[in-house]
Amino acid sequence: MAESGATLLKTPLHARHVAAGARMVPFAGYDMPVQYPLGILKEHQWTREKAGLFDVSHMGQAWLIGPDHATTAKALETLVPADILNLEPGQQRYTQLLTEEGGIIDDLMVVRPGDPAHDGRLFLVVNAGTKEGDYAHMAARLPADVRLERLDDRALVALQGPQAVAVLSALAPEVAEMTFMRARYLDLDGIAAHVTRSGYTGEDGYEISVADDDALALWDKLTAHEAVEPIGLGARDSLRLEAGYCLYGHDIDTQTSPIEAALNWSIQKRRREEGGFPGHARIIREISEGPARRRVGILPEGRAPAREGTVIATPGGTEIGIVTSGGFGPSVGGPVAMGYVATPHAEPGTALHLIVRGKAQPAKVAKLPFTQHRYKR
């Protein structure tokens, strides 16, 4: 959140949010819409049923630029545990910037562009609240022949939901052919865009990067479609929680390893075997022996949500962990949460107690995600 008294930054779409009657709040130094007149519950359901449009221009976008793909990929691989070298042109991958101890500095998306003219470049999207630190961390550790170039003049929007493909196909029919975690440069009815088929909601959809100057025109083209409603940060959070996704600074941080966070899947076999990234020894040890704690899904009984910071205990009263994200899951029809528990208590179905306002509330460990992912594979 922005510091009290600090001047809030505005995305290129700020005027549209205000005009649409959004309730604006400080978030990661920006004045951002938390909800529109539709309300968080209906915005959530709209995204699950139709197409929600999110302004995520506060996120950080940047290029890594080197002489060729192998050089740039290997430079980034000294900072992250994912296999970047073997990305195909037009492929996107999720990974994490790691501390020397294997903690998570940030999580990010990495794209190898499909355009041969961009060989040697990687497109990065990092979190808003950590982007300044991320850029400094990377720039200080890159070799002389690889440089980081910020893209502060680009907006980013996410179109999410089962009707997203129909909406965006009206502007560029090629988007229908794309599959999950693929990227393309496209002309969206006269607007030059970099499009990935990805998102943060568990629904099919796209993230679209355009020049700041084109953001309003793109927003207006998309919101003109009857299936599209603008969606605020409130529903974005409930959607990602149901999808079982980590929120940086809450579910993952510099004290958390990718293995504790149940992100093993994001570290490919070659990197596990070869290493060469920060915290490799810890991460390999945790893969083979198991971490001391694990991120799990939690289903509280009753209707009271378990918020971040809620203590997790055994039914016998022993403290075993803490809730890191929690709230009402509109698609689930009740409260959902995620948190860390000591590994012996991490099996789905394990009985828990959540200490809410001094009282023990029954709950159980649940498999993630809470709602089925609906990506086009």
Q: What's the pLDDT tens digit per position in 43-87?
A: 999 999 999 999 999 999 999 999 999 999 999 999 999 999 999
In angstroms, rounded to a whole number, what is the distance separating the alpha carbons of residues 249 and 305?
20
Stretch(es) of the chain classified as CATH 3.30.1360.120: 14-59+153-242
| Cα dihedral value 79, 80, 81, 86, nearest 10 | -100
Residues 248/130, Cβ–Cβ less than 8 Å? yes
Q: What per-residue confidence (pLDDT) applies to 4?
A: 47
Taking Cα atoms as reference points, which of 297, 307, 322 lies closest to residue 356?
Answer: 307
Can you give the pTM of this predicted structure? 0.96
Summary mean pLDDT of the chain: 97
Distance (Å, rounded) from C-alpha 123 to C-alpha 328? 34
CATH class of 14-59+153-242: alpha beta
Nearest alpha carbon to residue 63 among 122, 144, 4, 133: 122
The rounded distance, in Å, linking the Cα atoms of 225 and 237 is 24
Q: What is the pLDDT of residue 2?
A: 41
* Exposed e or buried b per residue across 217-246, where buried means at least 16 C-beta atoms within 10 angstroms of its C-beta: ebbebbeebebbbbbbbbbbbbbbbbbbbb
- Residue 25 has what pLDDT? 98
Look at residue 232 in the predicted model and tell me its pLDDT. Answer: 98
CA distance 100 to 135: 17
What are the structure tokens assigned to 270, written together? 């070659």
Q: In which band, very low, low, confident or very high, does the pLDDT at 5 lie, cut at 50, 70 and 90? A: low
Backbone φ, ψ for residue 320 (5° rounding)? -130, 0
Overall average pLDDT of the 203-215 stretch: 98
> DSSP secondary-structure letter at 354?
E
- Residue 369, preceding bond cis, omega within 30 degrees? yes
Q: What are the tens digits of pLDDT across the range 120-154?
A: 999 999 999 999 999 999 999 999 999 999 999 99
Domain with CATH 2.40.30.110 in the chain: 292-377
Q: pLDDT digits over 263-276, tens only? A: 999 999 999 999 99
- Closest C-alpha among 298, 168, 303, 275 to residue 222: 168
H or E element that contains 217: helix 215-223
Cα–Cα distance, 251 to 169 (Å, whole number): 35
Nearest to 335 by CA among 374, 358, 364, 372: 364
- Coil/strand/helix, residue 99: coil
CA-closest candidate to residue 57, choices 221, 211, 275:
211
pLDDT tops 90 at residue 168: yes
Residue 51 φ/ψ, nearest 5 degrees: -150, 120
pLDDT tens column, 221-260: 999 999 999 999 999 999 999 999 999 999 999 999 999 9
Separation of alpha carbons 358 and 164, rounded Å: 44
Q: What is the band of 3 on the pLDDT scale with cuts at 50, 70, 90?
A: very low
Per-residue pLDDT averaged across 105-122, rounded?
A: 97
Confidence of residue 162 (pLDDT cuts 50, 70, 90): very high
Task: Give the percent of the chain with pLDDT over 90.
Answer: 97
- For residue range 318-350, list pLDDT tens digits in order: 999 999 999 999 999 999 999 999 999 999 999
Indicate whether 6 pLDDT > 80: no
Which CATH number is 292-377 given? Answer: 2.40.30.110
- pLDDT confidence of residue 357: 86
Strand partners of residue 9: 30
- Give strand pairing partners of 96: 107
33 alpha-carbon distance from chain centroid: 18
What are the structure tokens assigned to 68, written together?
A: 């060729």
The percent of residues above 70 in pLDDT, for the chain, comes to 99
Per-residue model confidence as pLDDT tens digits over 14-27: 999 999 999 999 99
Q: At how many degrees (to 10) do helices 40-49 and 233-242 cross?
A: 60
CB 127 within 8 A of CB 246: no
